[in-house]
Amino acid sequence: MPQSSLPPVAALVASRPGLARHRVPVLALAAASLLGGLAGGLARLGTGSPSPDGAAAGHGVLMTLGFLGTLIALERAVALRRAWGYLAPVLSGVGGLAIIAGVPAPWPPLLTAAAGAWLCGGYVVMWQRQQTLHITVEALGALAWWGCAMVWLTGTDLPGLAPWLAAYIVLTIAGERLELARVALLGRRYREAVLVWSALILAGPVLTIWWPSAGARVLGVGLLVLSAWLVRYDVARHTVRAHGLTRYMAACLLAGYVWLGVAAGMWIWHGSLTQGPAYDATLHAVFLGFAMSMVFGHAPVILPAVLRVRLPHHPRDYAVLVLLHVSLTLRIVGGDLAGLESLRAAGGILGVVALLVFVANSATSVYGARRATQDSGGSRPPQDTPQRAATAATKATTATTARATSTTSATPPQHQEEPR
């Protein structure tokens, strides 16, 4: 594999500190979609809580493209090192505001389609610089985003968009795992396996256009293969025995992989899902159980790179993680599967609380880091601070994986490409 020509995101941000402030408005757009999506989710639970005009109907798109999509596109814009790259997260963020405000079609899907197309263009530039497997997988995810928006433009409602949204989120996060955590690629057939599950995950939504149940089952098979592949080859299964931030990240990832397997099984068993308990369980397993676990786990590395501040790990982070998964268990197992509506509502409310506490905790940590830097006499954090945050986890991962490998095999592992 060719050596990466893209510098570490953390190093890039550290060397150009002036850009960090310009990212805050984009993060604010993502936060608006999150708050709108959570308000809409509470309204859909029948809690009677107030919500903006379009938040309840657009709950799913707000949480995926409006919130997660804006965050992911922002992180990719940082890596792209081009000012025009920031148009993708801005467009998706504005699209989220349009949904919240109840702006009629075709404006919300047009904005998200433009954001997806712009993101695809960014990946073309990245591919020209660096022909790697993780760029390929992430680019397929961006293509799913654009495909989702185009299907949305035809008037398809959220149940028809759900497979596309899942493909975008899952492929993007899987590509991030290949890039950031150095999944143990041991040979050609393992790379071929990556292409197989990537193709299945992208083919599933496409097939749903003509054969909804068949396409949903193809997507489910792809997700199941991916979840098993990640559990087997992601270094998280070794680093969960480490300490501190490295262990916390691994716990988030492994829990997310379990929920991804749950969603995969639901799609394989039921096929096309448009409403009812199975539909609710499947979507929240993949978008909350998997996607938000990945957000929790990667935030201590991604946020320092984007905002150029250290985000310290604290034991209370585990409490928020446990709260998230307890809420999902109540909602999916007690509510959707056992049919207890009170547990479903309780799980939904606890899920909202978990996400709000996570956001508040992250914001408090960022603010505290800024204050600590100012109190130390500097106008900004040391320029290598975000890089340390990113490389510390990588070094711990490498050391822990090496120790685990040495206990199971006398053959040294193959040399791996250095992470970006």
Q: Please report the pLDDT score of residue 88 as a whole number.
A: 97
What number of helices (H) and strands (E) belong to the chain? Answer: 17, 0
Q: Could you state, in chain order, the average pLDDT of each consecutive group of 10 residues for the chain (420 residues)?
A: 40 44 88 96 88 90 96 92 93 97 94 97 94 93 98 94 98 89 64 91 98 98 96 89 92 97 98 95 98 94 79 87 98 96 96 96 78 58 38 47 42 37
Here the contacts of 27-30 (C-beta below 8 Å, separation 24 or greater) are 27/71, 27/74, 27/306, 27/307, 29/70, 29/89, 29/90, 29/92, 29/93, 29/94, 29/96, 29/97, 30/66, 30/67, 30/70, 30/71, 30/74, 30/89, 30/93, 30/96
Nearest to 235 by CA among 213, 261, 208, 257: 257
Residue ranges per domain, the chain? 10-398
Q: What's this model's pTM, rounded to 2 decimal places?
A: 0.85
Q: How many angstroms separate the CA atoms of 235 and 338, rounded?
A: 35
Q: How many angstroms separate the CA atoms of 218 and 133, rounded?
A: 22
DSSP state of 410: S
How many C-beta atoms surround the C-beta of residue 116 within 10 A? 28
Q: Please report the pLDDT score of residue 406 as a whole number.
A: 43
Backbone angles phi, psi at 188, to 5 degrees: -65, -40
Tell me if the domain spanning 10-398 has CATH number 1.10.1740.10. no
Q: Please report the pLDDT score of residue 81 as a whole number.
A: 86
Q: Please report the pLDDT score of residue 322 as a whole number.
A: 97
Please state whether the peptide bond connecting residue 106 to the residue before it is cis, i.e. omega within 30 degrees of 0: yes
Instruction: Provide the CB-side half-sphere exposure for 193 (13 A, CA).
Output: 20
